């Protein structure tokens, strides 16, 4: 590691910010030693804010039907070989019931932009989910919608929304998406979500086609300025039935490096160790935690549909039942000295959960973490 890179890392830690060109320099001139230093500082930062807790979210993949045609995505509209499914509202609620019994207190409803889920349908699901499980947070990840739609969903009870920005560079965005999709609309969505009081998540693929260190520096600057509550980054993994089938995947090495940078930049951000990271590296999620991540998302979708939600090739965790998935991730977290937290795991500083009488106890500075998710059975009887 050069003295220059070392000084950039310590400046980032101190000031939680670098000029964009210095982010690019850090990425370009990184080496193993620099990554190790960054990971150490990022881990310390994670522990200072969250202790040894890793927040666990129950992921429910509600539909593999999508009207869009993003060039990198395995369930894009033009992939006629993709197997399509859609969970009914009853099936989604049943997944959440099972997850609640297993100890989950956040549900992430993720899917393609499926026109079946009108505001009426989706608001109904959110409302019923919150009625059945008022101690839980609901995260939505169902793409671009109108401000009115986001508002209706928020009023129905949705707490968080994940919408990866994918790239902060409009030219790069145009290379990853079809002409009918617009960078400006993606940014409009993110602004609306934040203004409407969602804990908002953005993020991007590491190593996506045509991505340069300068693009990544732009992404980091965007994240630094936007200050999301959550940030999802994972390596690009090509899918065999997409126009990007022959592009090289992103690396775990660069993904881990960037996780550490983001943790130093935004110490309180909710930062998942993604399934894509676990796909390109056997112990990728554990490595993600050691690089500064603090969230994992076991899959609660019915096993019969898991393989059909195939955004990229060789996706892991498609065969296990929900309880197995939870247990596996618990083991993995313990192996790196962490434990899965049982509470909603709101972003620090987020207050509406407190208004509802639910206190986020996951933050070290606000006291001790309550307990682990039990091996089996209900936790709040
Ligand atoms: S990335 Fe999302 S919006 Fe794009 S095609 Fe895939 S599911 Fe649809």
Question: Ligand 1 centre and the CA of 379: distance in Å?
Answer: 36
H/E segment holding residue 6: helix 3-15
> Does residue 109 contact residue 63 with C-beta atoms inside 8 Å?
no
- Ligand 1 pocket, 176 CB below 6 A? no
Identify the CA nearest to 272 among candidates 252, 292, 249, 253.
Answer: 292
Reading phi first (left if > 0) and then psi (alpha if -120 to 50, else beta), residue 317 is in left
Cα distances (angstroms) measured from residue 314 to each of 96, 239, 309: 26, 9, 11
Question: Ligand 1 centre and the CA of 39: distance in Å?
Answer: 31
Percent of the chain that is helix, strand, coil (3-state, to 5): 45, 15, 45
Question: Ligand 1 centre and the CA of 326: distance in Å?
Answer: 26
Which atom of ligand 1 lies at the shortest distance from residue 177's CA?
A: 4
**Which of 149-153, 325-329, 348-352 is predicted least confidently?**
348-352
**What's the pLDDT at 351?**
54
- Which residue CA neighbors atom 6 of ligand 1 most closely? 73
For the chain, domains (ranges, CATH) are: 16-358 (3.20.20.70)
Tens digit of pLDDT for each residue in 255-277?
999 999 999 999 999 999 999 99
- Ligand 1 pocket, 73 CB below 6 A? yes
Q: Is the pLDDT of residue 109 over 50?
A: yes
Identify the CA nearest to 97 among candidates 273, 300, 275.
Answer: 300
- Ligand 1 pocket, 70 CB below 6 A? yes
Decide: helix, strand or coil at residue 129. Answer: helix
Mean pLDDT of the chain: 91
Q: Could you give the CA distance from residue 83 to residue 316 in angstroms, rounded to a whole number?
A: 17
- Ligand 1 pocket, 75 CB below 6 A? yes
- Which residue CA neighbors atom 2 of ligand 1 most closely? 112
Cβ neighbours, 10 Å, residue 78: 12
**Which of 129-133, 181-185, 300-304 is predicted least confidently?**
300-304
Which atom of ligand 1 lies at the shortest distance from residue 111's CA?
A: 7
**What's the pLDDT at 340?**
87
């Amino acid at each position: 590691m050069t003295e220059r890179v070392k000084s950039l890392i310590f400046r980032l830690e101190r000031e939680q910010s670098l000029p964009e060109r210095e982010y690019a320099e850090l990425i370009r001139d990184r080496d193993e030693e620099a990554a190790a230093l960054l990971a150490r500082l990022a881990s310390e930062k994670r522990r200072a804010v969250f202790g040894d807790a890793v927040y666990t979210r129950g992921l429910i993949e509600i539909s593999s039907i999508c009207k869009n045609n993003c060039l990198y995505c395995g369930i894009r509209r033009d992939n006629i070989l993709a197997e399509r499914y859609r969970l009914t509202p009853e099936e989604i609620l049943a997944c959440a019931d099972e997850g609640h019994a297993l100890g989950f207190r956040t549900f992430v409803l993720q899917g393609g932009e499926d026109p079946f889920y009108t505001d009426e349908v989706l608001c109904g699901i959110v409302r019923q989910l919150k009625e059945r499980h008022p101690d839980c947070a609901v995260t939505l990840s169902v793409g671009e919608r109108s401000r009115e739609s986001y508002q209706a969903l928020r009023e129905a009870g949705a707490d968080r929304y994940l919408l990866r920005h994918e790239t902060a560079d409009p030219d790069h965005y145009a290379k990853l998406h079809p002409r009918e999709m617009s960078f400006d609309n993606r940014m409009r969505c993110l602004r609306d979500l934040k203004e409407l009081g969602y804990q908002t998540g953005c993020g991007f693929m590491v190593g996506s086609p045509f991505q340069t260190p300068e693009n990544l520096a732009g992404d980091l600057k965007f994240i630094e300025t936007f200050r999301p509550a959550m940030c999802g980054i994972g390596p690009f993994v090509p899918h065999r039935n997409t126009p990007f089938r022959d592009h090289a995947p992103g690396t775990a090495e660069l993904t881990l490096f960037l996780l550490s940078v983001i943790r130093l930049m935004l110490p309180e951000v909710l930062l998942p160790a993604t399934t894509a990271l676990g796909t390109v590296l056997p112990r990728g999620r554990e490595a993600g935690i050691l690089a500064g991540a603090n969230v994992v998302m076991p899959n609660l979708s019915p096993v019969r549909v898991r393989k059909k939600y195939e955004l990229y090739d060789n996706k892991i965790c498609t065969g296990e039942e929900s309880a197995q998935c939870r247990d596996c991730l618990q083991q993995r977290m313990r192996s790196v000295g962490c434990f899965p937290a049982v509470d909603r795991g709101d972003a620090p500083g987020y207050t509406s959960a407190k208004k509802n009488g639910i206190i986020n106890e996951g933050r070290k500075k606000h006291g001790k973490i309550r307990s682990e998710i039990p091996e089996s059975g209900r936790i709040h009887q």
